[in-house]
Structure 1
Amino acid sequence: MDSYLYDTHFHLDLFNSINDVVKEIEENKIYTIAVSNLPVLYSKLKQNISSKYIRPALGFHPELLFQYKHHIPQMWPLLHEAKYIGEVGLDFKTGKDFKELQVSFFTELIERCNQIGGKILTIHSRQSADEITSIIGASFNGKVIMHWYSGNKMTLKQAIKNGYFFSINYSMVKSNSGKELIKMIPLDKLLLETDAPFTKYDKQPFTPKDIKYIVEELSILLGIDNVRMSSILWSNFKRLIA
């Protein structure tokens, strides 16, 4: 079963003992998209991490955009080398005072990615899912993962219609609102994520090996045998990265 584990949204650089986490990823053969929060952190991650199971993602977290706006020009040259883009998006909860900057940056990012093509984006959309869906649209030249989706059902339906994927973490499968949304998502659009270290299992920060517990909870929630659930999720991941 371990060979069918993966994580589409993982903050490797936020762990204190990165080497231990990398070892865990490799021992458990967990294919991992290691997101970053700033372009400079992506470059550092890419330089320091060498593992066939880890793919660094070029990110600029929307909550950090105003404070680090002088880093924005660093983003664009790196787009050509990075297949994985994230964490990026909009946050109208904590970033409500600089919405215009967020929308301007994200719109340009999508336009550039669309022009280059072939990018895989993991998207933050807190209190901004409608705007995210509108900016990306239905004909994006790449693949979109809505990370920890928490928007309304109408926007969810539009995102599904647009062909986006949705990455599910442990907090989602344990909340009533998360369960309702998950049940609406087509099986072939479900993906796994930990969003570690921001999520916990048994009162401890999630680590890659714990992702099997998300599979178990999804199996129970959707009434699907654990083996078949794992197979579906693995098939979805293969289509994502193809």
Structure 2
Amino acid sequence: MIDFHCHLDLYPDPRAVLDGIDARGTYVLAVTTTPKAWRGTTKLVGDRKRVRVALGLHPEVVAQRHQEVALLCGLLPETRYVGEIGLDGSPAHRQSLELQVKVFERILSECSRLGGRLISIHSRGAASRVLDALDLHPGAGTPILHWFSGTTRELERAVSLGCWFSIGPAMLRSKRGRELASAMPLDRVLTETDAPFTRVGDDPLMPWQAYDCLAGLEEVRGIDRIELGKLVADNLRRAVQIEPELSPV
């Protein structure tokens, strides 16, 4: 099982979630919303071989915390994984979009200078602007568009730019999400939860529930969910090929 985008530090009891991850052998990318949270989450995770912590500055907090981009860039040499970063053009955050773009492009530029990173990217309401920035910084690394919700044309452009995609159970609950998932290149798809923000009833999804989306993916792609699980595992191996201990066996 692979959860390539969850907010481990925002669960009510992250240590209990880590125990569950260990017990089930789940592979996890724990994204952070601020660079200050990266240090604490990294310490919390410790030396667990199946969990990595991504260094992030979420676009929803950029208006208040944009100064922390300097801290993020200073920490970048310490990690291969970046996220959650990106742009949010939804009504609640549209006023800060130009500031978000400056922060996002600075991070991408630094990633490029350091030889590239695996980057989990938020693009809600701003897919075209995200793709514009990626086009300007082709050496930034491997962009993985988390819960992509753009247009079909934007999806086609993202594919042409070499983007990957992480999809989860919540995305496949909507007709639009299923339509997009049906058109994504399967050799660039990973699974995610975006938990604890995503829920089943009153309970947050757990990282080991990321593969719950495979039933919906089976419906829209006509491929058995077991085969899809193998494909996702192969994709993770390729994405982290220089770090074999994170690759599923």
The two structures share one fold, judged by TM-score above 0.5: yes
Return the offset for 1:47.
1.9
Is the Cα contact below 8 Å between 1:147 and 1:167 reproduced in 2? yes
Which digits, 9 at most, give the CA deviation of each residue in 1:20-54, with x for residues without a partner?
A: 10001111111100000000000111122211111
1:149 aligned residue: 148
> What is aligned with 1:25?
21
RMSD: 1.3
Amino acid at match of 2:82: I
Aligned length: 238
2:79 aligned partner: 82
Sequence identity (%): 33
Q: Is 1:54–2:51 an aligned residue pair?
A: yes
What pairs with 1:1-242 in structure 2 (closer than 5 Å)? 5-50=1-46, 51-93=48-90, 94-137=92-135, 139-242=138-241
Report the Cα distance in structure 2 between the residues aligned to 1:104 and 1:218, rounded to whole angstroms: 35
The answer as to whether partners of 2:191 and 2:211 remain within 8 angstroms in 1 is no
* Inter-partner Cα distance in structure 2 for 1:220 and 1:234: 19
CA contact (8 A) 2:109 2:140 kept: no
Using structure 1 for the length normalisation, give the TM-score.
0.94
Between the aligned partners of 2:98 and 2:132, the Cα distance in structure 1 is 15
Which segment drifts farther, 174-183 or 197-206? 197-206
CA apart distance, 1:14: 0.3
TM-score (norm 2): 0.92
- Bigger mean CA offset, 69-78 vs 171-180: 69-78
> SS in structure 2 opposite 1:86?
strand
Give how far 1:226 is off.
Answer: 1.9
Separation in structure 1 between the aligned mates of residue 116 and residue 138 of structure 2, nearest angstrom: 12
Q: Flag structure 2 segments of 5+ consecutive residues without an equivalent.
A: 242-249
User: Contact 2:116–2:139 (CA<8 Å) still a contact in 1?
Assistant: no
Counterparts of 2:96 and 2:162, CA distance in 1: 29
Deviations 1:32-86 (A, max 9, x none): 0000000000011112221111101000001101112232221111011111000
Question: Runs of 4 or more off by more than 6 Å in structure 1?
Answer: none
Between the aligned partners of 2:164 and 2:6, the Cα distance in structure 1 is 16
Structure 2: distance between partners of 1:69 and 1:205: 29
